[in-house]
Amino acid sequence: YAPGAAGAALVESILRDEKKLFTCCVSLEGEYGQKDICLGVPVVIGKNGWEKIVDFKLNEEEQALFNKSAEAVRSMNDVLKTL
């Protein structure tokens, strides 16, 4: 039920241009200290799809954990490129 409800809320935000905050996987170009990678971050969703990445300030521990996650995604992307 939850994934369907989230998908419906996302579509509703686009159709009604509600500018609601969702977590979505988007390409980062410097936000959260990351570049050239797609990661799940908070974004504003409106009639044009995702319209703005909300770049919350992370504390040192949170940033380190985020960077570790980004590195795990990069490593998996590298593995997938070899297939």
* pLDDT of the residue at 82: 95
* pLDDT of the residue at 3: 87
Asked whether the predicted pLDDT for residue 14 surpasses 90, the reply is: yes
CATH number attached to the domain at 2-81: 3.90.110.10
* pTM for the whole structure: 0.85
Residue 45, Cβ density class (10 Å: 0-12 exposed, 13-18 middle, ≥19 buried) = buried
Asked whether the predicted pLDDT for residue 18 surpasses 90, the reply is: yes
Q: Give me the helices (H) in the chain, please.
A: 2-15, 60-81
Instruction: Render pLDDT for 41-62 as a digit per residue (tens, 0 to 9).
Output: 999 999 999 999 999 999 999 9
Asked whether the predicted pLDDT for residue 1 surpasses 90, the reply is: no
Residue 72, Cβ density class (10 Å: 0-12 exposed, 13-18 middle, ≥19 buried) = exposed
